[in-house]
């Protein structure tokens, strides 16, 4: 072997070993790398959640039956645990705003104003302000909760600041001055921003807000949606990235954000809007592909096309898939005969990750791609997705959405 070939081979080995996880011999799953652990530590320090070595026993008193009482029990258990842990640290970052959407859904599903009242207190504390001036999709996402609260009692003060920000964003062709990326340049944005714009249309009746959604979603779809795989790249830099097994990199939570965003947007569109078909078709295509990737335990892995590298289930993505597919079945967009058994299997799998105290585990830390984590890993945005899923399943169980 020539010297140059040896150097190339050694470099390849070095790259491989840098990615190669430390596998826990006792548990049989990969432990976070040093870089991944740094993100976990940062997220823990910001009070998004944590990943202790031991979280105690799993819950043994939960039923996976899609029956109102069974759904209520687990939804309340997880929501109460999360509210107690998070309320002292409420903020306006996207991780919290996803949780807030879940709490709003939990109050509606359970008929209990406790969680909604906590959201009203939070919103008042922040004077209904968004997280930043000319906010990106993440910083805009808390506006979903402000708008939902307004729709209950019509207090305009809750949405005036959000409306002013949307009006300032409307004429911008890019994300903001000096940043030439698309306003929704990453797939997560399709959960964070469209419902704010669409709800503003509902509240005001002004078509400009819904027209913005159509224009920007289609730009993002053209950039990131793989028309063969029917999945989204996380952002343009991931279009050509592959997993260790050589297959394309599709991140479960990223796909979950899109399916959740579809579920939270379609109902807000005008009934006669010709663009509805675009979103419904994308929900159908993604649901069909996601269904093909469901594992024997009913869940999905952080790297959708490389489950061997990421053997643990990933609950935040799985919960958002359940939410999106249950929404589709409830509205008649997806065939119940095909998808309801998959949904039931997924829900049963998710409940195996609920601990006795209400912790929801196997939630990957923040990031932009598949990573490693411990089964105890629990973060607020994943619980938000879980609460949305449970609330949608309650509608399925009661026929409330039909």
Which residues are known to be catalytic?
188
CA quadruple 260, 261, 262, 263: dihedral sign: positive
Quick one: how far is CA 23 from the chain centroid?
27
Task: Give, for 287, the enclosing helix (H) or strand (E).
Answer: helix 276-292
The rounded distance, in Å, linking the Cα atoms of 373 and 394 is 30
Whether the Cβ atoms of residue 372 and residue 32 lie closer than 8 Å to each other: yes
The rounded distance, in Å, linking the Cα atoms of 88 and 94 is 17
Checking DSSP bridges between strand 378-379 and strand 30-31, what pairing results, if any?
unpaired
The rounded distance, in Å, linking the Cα atoms of 198 and 212 is 9
Whether the Cβ atoms of residue 395 and residue 71 lie closer than 8 Å to each other: no
Nearest residue to 132 (alpha-carbon basis) of 104, 171, 161, 156: 161
The rounded distance, in Å, linking the Cα atoms of 139 and 384 is 17
Task: Identify any residues that bridge with 23 across adjacent strands, giving them in sequence order.
Answer: 30
The CB density around residue 364, as the number of other CB atoms within 10 Å, is 28
The CB density around residue 79, as the number of other CB atoms within 10 Å, is 28
The CB density around residue 402, as the number of other CB atoms within 10 Å, is 10
DSSP type of residue 266: G
The rounded distance, in Å, linking the Cα atoms of 133 and 124 is 19
Nearest residue to 380 (alpha-carbon basis) of 43, 72, 127, 55: 43
Q: Rounding to the nearest 10 degrees, give the CA dihedral for residues 319, 264, 184, 343.
A: 30
DSSP type of residue 21: P
Task: Provide the total of helices (H) and of strands (E) in the chain, helices listed first.
Answer: 16, 6
DSSP type of residue 83: H
């Amino acid at each position: 072997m020539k010297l140059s070939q040896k150097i190339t081979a050694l470099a390849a080995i070095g790259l491989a070993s840098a990615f190669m996880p430390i596998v826990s011999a006792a548990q049989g799953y990969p432990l976070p790398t040093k870089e991944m652990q740094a993100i976990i530590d940062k997220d823990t320090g910001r009070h998004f959640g944590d990943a202790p070595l031991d979280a105690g026993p799993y819950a043994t008193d939960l039923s996976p039956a899609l029956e109102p009482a069974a759904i209520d029990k687990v939804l309340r258990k997880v929501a109460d645990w999360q509210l107690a842990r998070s309320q002292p640290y409420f903020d306006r970052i996207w991780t919290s705003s996803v949780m807030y959407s879940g709490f709003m859904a939990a109050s509606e599903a359970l008929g209990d104003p406790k969680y909604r009242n906590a959201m009203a207190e939070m919103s008042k504390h922040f004077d209904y302000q968004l997280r930043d001036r000319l906010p990106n999709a993440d910083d805009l996402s808390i506006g979903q909760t402000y708008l939902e609260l307004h729709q209950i009692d019509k207090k305009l003060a809750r949405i005036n600041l959000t409306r002013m920000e949307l009006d300032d964003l409307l004429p911008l062709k890019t994300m903001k001055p000096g940043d030439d990326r698309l306003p929704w340049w990453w797939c997560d944005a399709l959960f964070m921003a469209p419902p704010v714009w669409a709800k503003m249309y509902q509240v005001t009746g002004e078509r400009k807000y819904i027209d913005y959604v159509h224009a920007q979603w289609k730009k993002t779809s053209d950039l990131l949606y793989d028309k063969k795989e029917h999945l989204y790249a996380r952002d343009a830099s991931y279009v050509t990235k592959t997993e260790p097994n050589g297959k394309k990199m599709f991140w479960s939570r990223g796909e979950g954000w899109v399916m959740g965003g579809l579920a939270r947007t379609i109902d807000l569109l005008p009934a006669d809007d010709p663009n509805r078909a675009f979103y419904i078709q994308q929900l159908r295509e993604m649901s069909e592909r996601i269904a093909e990737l469901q594992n024997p335990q009913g869940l999905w892995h952080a790297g959708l096309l490389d489950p061997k590298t990421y053997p643990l289930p990933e609950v935040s993505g799985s919960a958002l898939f359940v939410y999106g597919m249950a929404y589709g079945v409830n509205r008649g967009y997806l065939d119940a005969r095909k998808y309801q058994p998959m949904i039931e299997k997924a829900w049963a799998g998710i409940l195996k990750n609920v601990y006795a105290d209400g912790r929801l585990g196997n939630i990957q830390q923040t990031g932009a791609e598949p990573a490693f984590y411990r089964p105890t890993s629990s973060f607020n945005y994943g619980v938000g997705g879980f609460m949305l899923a449970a609330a949608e399943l309650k509608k399925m169980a009661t026929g409330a959405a039909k």
